[in-house]
Structure 1
Amino acid sequence: MQKRRFGAAGGEVAVIGQGSWYIEHAARADAIAALRRGVDLGLTHIDTAEMYGSGEAETIIGEALKGRRDEIVIVSKVLPSNASKAGTKRACEASLKRLGTDRLDCYLLHWRGQYPLAETFAAFEELKRDGKILSWGVSNFDEDDLAEALSVAGSGKIACNQVLYHLEERAIEHAVIPWCEKHDVAVVAYSPFGHSGFPDAAGKGGKILAEIAKAHGASPRQVALAFLTRRLALFAIPKAAKLTHVEDNAKAGDLVLSAGDIQRLDDAFPLGRKPRGLPMI
């Protein structure tokens, strides 16, 4: 599994990780087995949030990865409604307790809310000084949000921006990815297979995916992940609550697409016009 620097403020992180949105809906034993197997295969970037299952996802992760803390990078998120200075610190403590750890590798503001960024970021910096978090970042931030965050925090503080990104939703390529690359901020793709379904093999895009996958001895989902992480700033966190899915995802970490492959996918899943607002789910 490839590892890359997680922006200016982060350490080395696996390119392909494991998401946990809705993981509490899977059979608990299956979810735990999948998380453990993923770590065995190098999927050591574990993403979660206090919102996911009202904390249940964090509890599952804590149970699954007990005794393996030093092998993994844990990222969690504070809800905007909790993102006051005091509220952020309380939320972090609660997440740490559910996860059974003394620190988060990265802590994110889940999306913008009523509290000023300066207040949330001040809490992040205090948590970092106290060793409760090692770095911090944001999620669902568009270019103008990122510019404001940079003006508040200063350079070299924002580790990552976690955003919606999959083959049929490439809006972040217009401005968000270029901004993040310019300012050394990692971009983490959530829902990298889409939220309402992966491209149908009967469609044009699905056929192209299948052809490229066959040429590489890979699966279409592996090709999709390789495309979404084709640039050094890009990471992806597919959720997988089944062993077979985790094993499939892990193989994408070493798949390198050719320039021709990337062009074919670019044509099959066109970027489209820049939307007025940043897509998010």
Structure 2
Amino acid sequence: MRTVSTPSGAAMPALGLGTWRLGEDASLRAAEVAAVRSAIAMGYRLIDTAEMYGDGGSEEVVGEAIAQAIGAGEVRRDELFIVSKVLPHNASRKGTEQACARSLQRLGLDRIDLYLLHWQGSHPLRDTCAALQALAARGEIGEWGVSNFDVDDMADLNALGEGKACAANQVYYSLSERGPEFSLLPWLRKHGQPLMAYSPIDQGTLALDAELGEMAARRGVTAAQLALARLLAEPGVVAIPKAVREAHLRENLAAADLVLTPEEVAEVDRLHPPPHRKTPLAMI
């Protein structure tokens, strides 16, 4: 698996597993744990979750799957890269540290590899950054970053002394939502900060794109794989599609090894053109 480096030199897998909407229904718990454990067995090493997802239920699902996989000798903890997020209303100096402690407990871990501010709220960024820096200094998180930050937000963050330690920015980015390519992605590249793309196949919508499907068929892949491969062709981009079915998990993982030719990149861009002007950052 190709990796993308954070400013500190830490390596993140270029493709990971998103877990939004997991942990919301207790009757699905066993199946969801099995899906995440299956993903680990297939080779997924980056798993993204958040305290918001299922009100902590997603973290519990991920934690149980990790515990089972480690217990069975299928993976070592140091082979996994676990991402979680603090909600804005919890992101005060004290609240961030308390939220992280709860997330660690639900995950059953002593460290979160990358801990993100889910989006900017009312608490001063300086206070949130100070808390995140303290968590990193104690080893409770490996690195910290942000989510749903546009260029102006990143500039404000970077103006803080602590803000320069930001390791990544997770935003909505897909072939049908390419706004980040205009100014945000170039800004992040300039500062050596990866962009993590959530909903990179638009919650499955791009898998049904007929024109992408025709192009993908010529290559012997699926439209979803083509959509993922095009995003991963962008330097400094990590994609975290959500999937629970084994076929989709395998399909998404295989996309990380799909290298597009310049002609294929150009053809995809004709179908889903890059932006020609700045647009507001989209959120789901």
- In the alignment, structure 1 residue 258 sits paired with structure 2 residue 261: yes
User: Which residue number corresponds to residue 49 of structure 1?
Assistant: 50
Q: How does 1:53-202 map to 2 (within 5 A)?
A: 53-66=54-67, 67=70, 68=75, 69-153=77-161, 156-195=164-203, 197-198=205-206, 200-201=208-209
Task: Give identity over the alignment, percent.
Answer: 42
Q: Deviations over 1:122-177 (max 9, x none)?
A: 00000001000010000000001001111114575111000001111100001110
SS of corresponding position for 1:198:
helix
CA distance in 1, matches of 2:104, 2:52: 14
How far is the alpha carbon of 1:274 from its aligned partner? 3.3
- In the alignment, structure 1 residue 232 sits paired with structure 2 residue 231: no
- In the alignment, structure 1 residue 31 sits paired with structure 2 residue 32: yes
SS of corresponding position for 2:16:
coil
How far is the alpha carbon of 1:253 from its aligned partner? 1.2
CA distance in 1, matches of 2:219, 2:255: 11
The one-letter code sitting in structure 2 at the alignment partner of 1:217 is G
TM-score norm. by structure 2 comes to 0.92
CA distance in 2, matches of 1:231, 1:275: 18
How far is the alpha carbon of 1:23 from its aligned partner? 1.7
Q: Residue 278 of structure 1: which of 274, 278, 281 is its match?
A: 281
Q: Conserved in 1, the CA contact under 8 Å of 2:182 and 2:275?
A: no
How far is the alpha carbon of 1:217 from its aligned partner? 2.0
CA distance in 2, matches of 1:63, 1:31: 10
The one-letter code sitting in structure 2 at the alignment partner of 1:22 is R
How far is the alpha carbon of 1:272 from its aligned partner? 3.9
**CA 1:216–1:29 in 2, change beyond 3 Å: closer, same or farther?**
farther
Q: Looking at both structures, which has the greater relative contact order when contacts are Cα pairs under 8 Å and sequence separation is at least 6?
A: 1
Q: How does 1:210-229 map to 2 (within 5 A)?
A: 210-229=213-232
SS of corresponding position for 1:159:
coil
User: Which residue number corresponds to residue 8 of structure 1?
Assistant: 7
The one-letter code sitting in structure 2 at the alignment partner of 1:83 is A
CA distance in 2, matches of 1:214, 1:263: 17
Q: Deviations over 1:67-87 (max 9, x none)?
A: 242221000000000000000
Q: Deviations over 1:74-120 (max 9, x none)?
A: 00000000000000000000000000000000100000000111100
SS of corresponding position for 1:254:
coil
CA distance in 2, matches of 1:246, 1:107: 24
CA distance in 2, matches of 1:113, 1:155: 16
CA distance in 2, matches of 1:178, 1:114: 27
> How many residue pairs get matched?
275
